[in-house]
Amino acid sequence: MLSHLGARLAAVATRRGRRTQLYFLTRTAAVLAAALLAGCMSDGRQTVAAGHPADPSARTAGVGYRSTIAPYDSLRPATPLPWRERNDGVTPPAKPNQ
């Protein structure tokens, strides 16, 4: 990437002159500086409620357990009903006068 940047700077300098090269260089430097500073910034959230993460006496939140399959009910072995009774159980009621 650096060789590409150097080649582009050289091409800009020979084509448009030194002023354009300086503009391109300062703009590129500003973008790189902003990217580097943005990578070093904190997102503002506190990582630990109280104390340092390496402190063994630091308080932590309690841990709970919730099963991911708790509402599951096994349907096997299920005795199959005849298909007509199952079909009649899910069809909407017939409308009168039609």
**pLDDT tens digits for range 30-59:** 888 888 888 777 666 665 555 677 778 877
Q: Which residue has the tokens 């091409």?
A: 11
The confidence score (pLDDT) of residue 61 equals: 78
Q: What are the structural domain ranges in the chain?
A: 2-40
Nearest-angstrom CA–CA distance, 93 and 50: 63
Q: What is the pLDDT of residue 24?
A: 80
Listed in sequence order, the residues at least 6 apart from 25 whose beta carbon sits closer than 8 Å to its beta carbon are 9
For the chain, report the end-to-end CA distance as a whole number of angstroms: 77
Tokens linked to 60: 């932590």
**DSSP count for the chain of H helices, then E strands:** 3, 0
The rounded distance, in Å, linking the Cα atoms of 69 and 77 is 19
